[in-house]
Amino acid sequence: MLDTRVEDAINDQINFELYSAYIYYSMQSWFENQGMAGFANWMAVQVKEEMSHAQIMFNYVNERGGRVLLKGIDGPSNEWESPLHIFQTALEHEQIVTGRINRIMDLAIEIKDHATVQWIQWFVAEQVEEEASAGDIVGKLEWAKDAPGALFQIDKDLGARVFNVPSPLAAGG
């Protein structure tokens, strides 16, 4: 049985993952409206990633005999100044998520919930990738500011991103 403190923390994080999906969906809309199909595609894949994170957590709470309780999702921003501003916002958001994942880990360690300590490790590693991928694009966009045509090349590159089902879901977990 899942300790109620861990259950509450994961339920809060399910809400935050859905909120993350909502933010990226809004960013996708911004790029669609700008006619930047590659950036929009990258965001569409990111929405699926965040939805899958919520699904992994949903499955774990149930597997441990807990109960998922869904809450209202905060509204996302809809306006940004530029692609760079969007990806800076995304990077800052992922840093917040990393802090939240780390706090769930801290709690699991504190109450000696070894199963959750092991399970949450996938998210610890995932957040390293999430920060790296957003940070990488921030770097490219900072550089592209002074290079005409570079933005179009980045848009083309991001158009190639495809969604891969995360391993905890691919394994049926």
Interface residues toward Fe ion, by CB under 5 A: 17, 50, 53, 130
Chain-centre distance for alpha carbon 48: 9
Torsion of CA 82, 158, 42, 75, to 10 degrees: -10
Choose between 98 and 150: whose C-beta lies nearer to Fe ion. 98
Give the nearest distance from C-beta 146 to Fe ion in angstroms. 29
Give the nearest distance from C-beta 57 to Fe ion in angstroms. 9
CA atoms within 13 A on the CB side of 68: 14
> Distance between CA atoms of 60 and 11, rounded to whole angstroms?
11
> Distance between CA atoms of 152 and 168, rounded to whole angstroms?
35
Check: CB of residue 89 under 8 Å from CB of residue 150.
no
Choose between 5 and 122: whose C-beta lies nearer to Fe ion. 122
Residue 52 corresponds to which amino acid?
S
Choose between 53 and 140: whose C-beta lies nearer to Fe ion. 53
E strands, the chain, in order = none
Choose between 22 and 150: whose C-beta lies nearer to Fe ion. 22
The residue at minimum Cβ distance from Fe ion is 53
Give the nearest distance from C-beta 145 to Fe ion in angstroms. 25
